[in-house]
């Protein structure tokens, strides 16, 4: 008896140089959100496609933050070992211009109209 293999088209990616081709249905990953439950690329090409996307994202991030790397690579001077860090004595701290006062109970205003029931 001859077994027939059902083929499906892998869509490929022009951006990453993956040519569209026919592949056995078993080579496609499950994709529950698709109508037929299978992905659009074979598993091998899907992995290379996602790896390419990750490489591009990493390159974009590195290009966008060149000054961050320069700051991280700048040498840091160590503190002198023989000297002890001394905090300056606390000066009289200025008091805020306003402060909140706590009220025991809020009393209704004298000129407020009575509530009709």
1: confidence class by pLDDT, cuts 50, 70, 90: low
Asked whether the whole model's pTM tops 0.75, one would answer no
Q: Using the structure block, give the residue that is written with the tokens 């790896």.
A: 51
Count of domains in the chain?
A: 1
Domain that holds residue 39: 7-67
pLDDT digit string, tens, across residues 9-46? 999 999 999 999 999 999 999 989 989 899 999 999 99
pLDDT surpasses 70 at 48: yes
- Nearest Cα neighbor of 29 from 38, 20, 21 is 38
The answer to whether residue 111 is domain-embedded is: no
The answer to whether residue 117 is domain-embedded is: no
The answer to whether residue 98 is domain-embedded is: no
The answer to whether residue 84 is domain-embedded is: no
The answer to whether residue 47 is domain-embedded is: yes
The answer to whether residue 52 is domain-embedded is: yes
Q: Is 25 in contact with 38 (CB distance < 8 Å)?
A: yes
pLDDT digit string, tens, across residues 52-111? 999 999 999 988 876 655 556 656 666 555 665 666 666 677 777 777 777 776 666 666
């Amino acid at each position: 008896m001859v077994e027939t293999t059902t083929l499906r088209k892998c869509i490929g990616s022009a951006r990453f140089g993956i040519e569209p081709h026919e592949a056995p249905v078993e080579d496609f990953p499950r994709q529950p959100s698709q109508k037929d439950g299978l992905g659009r690329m074979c598993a091998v090409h899907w992995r290379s496609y996602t790896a390419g996307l990750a490489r591009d994202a990493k390159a974009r991030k590195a290009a966008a933050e060149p000054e961050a790397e320069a700051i991280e690579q700048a040498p840091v001077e160590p503190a002198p070992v023989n000297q002890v860090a001394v905090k300056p004595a606390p000066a009289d701290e200025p008091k805020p211009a306003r402060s909140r006062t706590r009220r025991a109970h809020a009393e209704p205003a004298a000129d407020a109209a009575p509530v009709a029931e």
